[in-house]
Structure 1
Amino acid sequence: MRVLINGLALWIASWVLPGITVESTAATEVAQGNSTAGVVLAFLFIGLIFGLVNAIVRPIVSFLSLPVTILTLGLFTIIINALMLMLTAWLSSYTPVNFVVDSFFWTAVLGSLIISLVSLIAGSITRTR
């Protein structure tokens, strides 16, 4: 369920922000010409990578940056979310499905805010939180 929510959140962020894109060749080949199925598979794959990054790397980074997070009254978590988005984009560059975030500051920060908001709403609707 979390992979579906992450995929939906990433799709909405790429729909709202022009600097976030998903480029896929393998997913469209798997879908055998059906571009909608290829896009859905691509976003589910990126959602899986994003979920793994948030499950493995994010707790370590959050723990190590705890003093800065406390000092900024929690606002540094926005930067951590943007870093996780950039890490997902970097990891996906080694796969057939490329997730591209064009700039760190505005696109990644706004994208992480949109993804957090969509994940919060979808998680509360599906009760997966």
Structure 2
Amino acid sequence: MLKILIINSIVVFIGAYLLEGVKIKSFWTAIGVAIVLGLINMFIKPLIVLLTLPLTILTLGLFVLVINAWILMIIDKLIDGLTIKGFWWAVLYSIIISVLNSFMLWIF
């Protein structure tokens, strides 16, 4: 569990470093973002995906990107030190986080 939290924190930090529209204050902020993101993904996201299932099916799963971006924008409002400039930056950030997280978990 701690390994996954550290990997997620590193991924959040690297993703913010790679994108001009996403700023993160410190690695401690990345840890906080990873914790909140994990909790939201565990408890709230399944309900949101279930409620939007017809739209997700209609868009062949692409609406999940909108859900992920929306969750990141909520985390931006909840945590000081994370700044996402707009919706499209959040979409790109969610894609980068997903790809890097999958890659890092595959390696470690």
Could you tell me the TM-score, scaled by structure 1's length? 0.76
Q: How does 1:1-129 map to 2 (within 5 A)?
A: 1-23=3-25, 39-92=26-79, 97-104=80-87, 106-126=88-108
Mark the structure with the bigger radius of gyration: 1
Question: Is the partner of 1:73 in helix, strand or coil?
Answer: coil
Contact 1:53 1:88 in 2 (8 A): no
Alignment gaps of 5+ in structure 2: none
CA shift, 1:53, in A, is 1.5
What are the Cα deviations for residues 11-51 of structure 1, in whole angstroms up to 9, with x where unaligned? 1211111111123xxxxxxxxxxxxxxx2222112211111
Amino acid at match of 1:113: I
Question: Is the partner of 2:60 in helix, strand or coil?
Answer: coil
CA distance in 2, matches of 1:72, 1:41: 36
Size of the aligned set, in residue pairs, is 106
Amino acid at match of 1:117: V
Amino acid at match of 2:48: V
Could you tell me the TM-score, scaled by structure 2's length? 0.89
RMSD: 1.3
Amino acid at match of 1:6: N
Alignment gaps of 5+ in structure 1: 24-38
Contact 1:6 1:50 in 2 (8 A): no
Runs of 4+ that moved beyond 6 A: none
Question: Is the partner of 2:44 in helix, strand or coil?
Answer: helix
Amino acid at match of 1:110: L
CA distance in 2, matches of 1:62, 1:120: 20
Amino acid at match of 1:47: A
